Chains A and B, each alone.
Chain A
Amino acid sequence: MGEMEQLRKEADSLKDQITAARKEVQDQTLQDAAAGITVVSRVQLKTRKTLRGHLAKIYAVHWSTDSKLCVSASQDGKLIVWDSYTTNKVNAIPLKSSWVMTCSYAPSGNLVACGGLDNMCSIYNLKGKDGNVKVMRELAAHTGYLSCCRFLSDSEIITSSGDCTCVLWDIETGTQKTVFAGHIGDCMSLGVSPDFKMFISGACDYTAKLWDIREGTCRQTFAGHESDINAIGFLPNGNGVITGSDDSTCKMYDIRADQELIAYQDSSIMCGVTSLAPSVSGRLILAGYDDFNCNIWDSLKAERVGVLAGHDNRVSCIGVTPDGMAACTGSWDSFLKIWN
């Protein structure tokens, strides 16, 4: 038997082992465990603010840790930092490349980052001495588009790319600290764990992977989706992972049980999920879809308990404030809306 054939057999055997091990701990389903609790009552959120100013499709939005400021990225070639309480634009940052796909606010509030078809992650200092916002670093090494980026601190950022890898960068030196390779499809989205020790990535190979940031290794792989995973995030408890896919479903996986716990789907929903965010208790999952709407799901009962209708085009991004007070949706219609 050639080595290739041997390796193939070993891989298949290990996959069977994993399937069996997952089945062994499946002593119950989340559906059964939650049978005794009632579905949350209808959630009706209203648009409290509309942030107007972008001139083209909005691709990403990210809240600052202060739950007041947020940064949005649009293919009009601008990053705008908004004061969501007043709708004022705090900064309007012109980008070198207008093909932006992601943006991120550093936990400190000092930096924002963005990237896209330029294959780079550009870091901007909001608190520069002369008051002007300038490019601080251009992190270049990816050989594919930048799909997502998330700061760990002012000195480290993680990026996901169409080149199938994720990278941990040292912002100070502009170099790659760790390359996380393993996906066999474009990486579309990433989320950092509440304790900043792990991150998850969703890709066009239909899987989500959990990575240990310091070890640089992939700990677990979650399959089940039948198409590209576009959105991914941690539940606030740090153990749940939620994914949104082109297969029109969202799923919740548990890290410690190493398997899917439940799926959020409805036969009437036939379009892809573009974005998602959990509410601060984890009980609600807000998911943006290609059909211009955002559905609100009861995470434990997997029932739709609300809808955010108000955009005139695809909802491309969504985020809940760290204090849980509001949700922000961004759309291809060029507007951001704040809901609660």
Chain B
Amino acid sequence: MSTTNNIAQARKLVEQLRIEAGIERIKVSKAAADLMNYCEQHARSDPLLVGVPASENPFKDKKPCIIL
């Protein structure tokens, strides 16, 4: 019978919930605003978002120019 085990586990859970209940929370409106600001500030330097010019794309094979 693991009743002592169960009680120990239950005590730990209550202890953990106390910690989680006690944290400071900011308003969702602030969290959302900060998130949107971050995205906006970094959008221009996000290659997957704004695209990569072929000349600056390290993954694009640079074909040599052949002058006919």
Cβ contacts under 8 Å, A3 to chain B: 7
Q: How many angstroms between the C-alpha atoms of A94 and B33 in the bound complex?
A: 48
Cβ contacts under 8 Å, A257 to chain B: 25-28, 30-31
Cβ contacts under 8 Å, A14 to chain B: 14, 17-18, 20-21
Q: How many angstroms between the C-alpha atoms of A40 and B40 in the bound complex?
A: 12
Query: Are B58 and A27 in touch, CB under 8 angstroms?
Result: no
- CB of B55 closer than 8 Å to a CB of A: no
- CB of A265 closer than 8 Å to a CB of B: no
**Measured between C-beta atoms, what is the minimum distance from B54 to chain A in Å?**
11
- CB of A84 closer than 8 Å to a CB of B: yes
Q: How many angstroms between the C-alpha atoms of A338 and B52 in the bound complex?
A: 14
Q: How many angstroms between the C-alpha atoms of A300 and B34 in the bound complex?
A: 12
Cβ contacts under 8 Å, B16 to chain A: 182, 218
Query: Are B25 and A256 in touch, CB under 8 angstroms?
Result: yes
Cβ contacts under 8 Å, B47 to chain A: 280, 323-326, 340
Query: Are B48 and A254 in touch, CB under 8 angstroms?
Result: no
- CB of B1 closer than 8 Å to a CB of A: no
What is the interface size of chain B, counting residues whose CB is below 8 A from a CB of the partner?
41
**Measured between C-beta atoms, what is the minimum distance from A158 to chain B in Å?**
20
Q: In the complex, which of the residues A219, A240, A279 contacts B20, with contact meaning CB atoms closer than 8 Å?
A: A219
Query: Are B20 and A25 in touch, CB under 8 angstroms?
Result: no
- CB of A96 closer than 8 Å to a CB of B: no
Query: Are A261 and B32 in touch, CB under 8 angstroms?
Result: yes
Query: Are A300 and B14 in touch, CB under 8 angstroms?
Result: no
Of all A-B residue pairs in the complex, the 3 with the closest CB atoms, nearest first, are: A281-B42, A33-B32, A48-B59
List 19 additional contacts besides A26-B28, A235-B35; criterion CB under 8 Å.
Answer: A4-B3, A4-B7, A11-B13, A14-B21, A15-B17, A18-B20, A21-B21, A24-B25, A28-B29, A33-B32, A48-B59, A258-B23, A261-B35, A279-B48, A284-B46, A326-B47, A326-B59, A340-B48, A340-B57
Q: Please, could you name 15 A-B residue pairs with CB atoms under 8 Å apart, sorted by A? A: A25-B27, A28-B28, A43-B49, A49-B59, A217-B19, A219-B23, A257-B28, A280-B45, A280-B47, A282-B39, A283-B39, A284-B46, A324-B45, A325-B58, A326-B47
